[in-house]
Amino acid sequence: MDRDNQERRVVVLGAGYAGLPAARRLARQVHRYGVRVILVNAEPTFVERPRLHQVATGQRVPELPLRDLLAGSPVELVVGLVTAIDLDRREVRVDTADGELTIGYHTLGHGLGSTIDRDSVPGVRANAHTLADPASAIRLRDEAARFAVSGGTALVCGGGLTGIEAAAELAESYPGLRVWLAGRGVPGGFLSAGARGYLDRALRRLGVEVVAGAEITEVRDRAGALAGRADLPFDLCLWAGGFTVPALARDSGLAVNSGGRRRPGRLLDVLAPDVTLITDGGGKIRAPRRPIVGADKVARFLAAGVGNIPAGTRLHFVDINGEPGAVTAVGSVPYAVFVLEVDPETGRVATIRLIGNPDKLAGLAPLP
Residue-by-residue DSSP string for 289-315: SS-EESHHHHHHHHHHHHTTPPTTEEE
Using the 3D structure, point to which of 213, 229, 252 is the last residue of a domain.
252
Of 337, 325, 320, 340, the residue nearest 271 (C-alpha): 340
pLDDT at 271: 86
Residue 3 belongs to some domain of the structure: no
Of 183, 180, 170, 158, the residue nearest 234 (C-alpha): 180
Same-domain check for residues 289 and 324: yes
Range of the domain at 31: 9-114+245-252
pLDDT at 95: 97
Same-domain check for residues 192 and 232: yes
Residue 1 belongs to some domain of the structure: no
Q: How far apart are CA 113 and CA 111, in angstroms?
A: 5
Cβ proximity of 349 and 322 under 8 Å: no
Which CATH number covers residue 304? Answer: 3.10.450.50
Q: pLDDT tens digits, residue range 170-179?
A: 999 999 999 9
Residue 153 belongs to some domain of the structure: yes
Same-domain check for residues 73 and 170: no
Q: pLDDT tens digits, residue range 128-172?
A: 999 988 999 999 999 999 999 999 999 999 988 899 999 999 999
Amino acid at 332: S
Q: How many domains does the chain have?
A: 3
Same-domain check for residues 134 and 225: yes
Cβ proximity of 108 and 8 under 8 Å: no
Q: pLDDT tens digits, residue range 283-335?
A: 877 788 889 999 888 888 887 776 677 777 887 777 777 677 888 888 778 88
Residue 367 belongs to some domain of the structure: no
Neighbouring residues of 265: CB distance < 8 A, sequence distance ≥ 6: none
Please give the chain's pLDDT, 368 residues, in tens.
554 445 789 999 999 988 998 899 889 888 888 889 999 999 999 999 889 999 999 999 999 999 999 999 999 999 999 999 998 899 999 999 999 999 999 888 888 877 888 988 999 999 999 998 899 999 999 999 999 999 999 999 998 889 999 999 999 999 999 999 999 888 888 888 899 999 999 999 999 999 999 999 999 999 999 998 999 999 999 999 877 777 787 788 766 655 555 555 566 778 888 999 999 888 877 788 889 999 888 888 887 776 677 777 887 777 777 677 888 888 778 888 888 888 777 778 889 989 888 888 887 777 66
Q: How far apart are CA 367 and CA 314, in angstroms?
A: 10
Q: How far apart are CA 330 and CA 286, in angstroms?
A: 18
CA distances for 216 relative to 65, 86, 121, angstroms:
38, 39, 8
* DSSP state string for 201-225: HHHHHHTPEEETT--EEEEETTEEE
Total Cβ atoms within 10 A of residue 124: 21
pLDDT at 137: 95
Same-domain check for residues 142 and 238: yes
Residue 119 belongs to some domain of the structure: no
Angle at 298 between CA 296 and CA 300, to 5 degrees: 70
Using the 3D structure, point to which of 211, 243, 275 is the last residue of a domain.
243
Using the 3D structure, point to which of 219, 252, 285 is the last residue of a domain.
252
Residue 93 belongs to some domain of the structure: yes
| 3 state SS of 194 | helix
Same-domain check for residues 237 and 275: no
Same-domain check for residues 105 and 38: yes
Same-domain check for residues 103 and 172: no
Residues in the chain: 368
Cβ proximity of 202 and 244 under 8 Å: no
Q: What's the predicted TM-score (pTM) here?
A: 0.69
Same-domain check for residues 92 and 131: no
| 3 state SS of 44 | coil
Output phi, psi for 170, to 5 deg. -60, -45
Same-domain check for residues 74 and 143: no
Of 232, 235, 206, 218, the residue nearest 143 (C-alpha): 235
pLDDT at 102: 96
Residue 262 belongs to some domain of the structure: no
Of 175, 142, 116, the residue nearest 56 (C-alpha): 142
Which CATH number covers residue 78? Answer: 3.50.50.60
**Alpha helical stretches, state H, 8-133:** 19-30, 52-55, 66-69, 124-127
Residue 261 belongs to some domain of the structure: no
Same-domain check for residues 160 and 194: yes
Give the count of alpha carbons within 13 A of 302, CB side only: 21
Same-domain check for residues 110 and 132: no
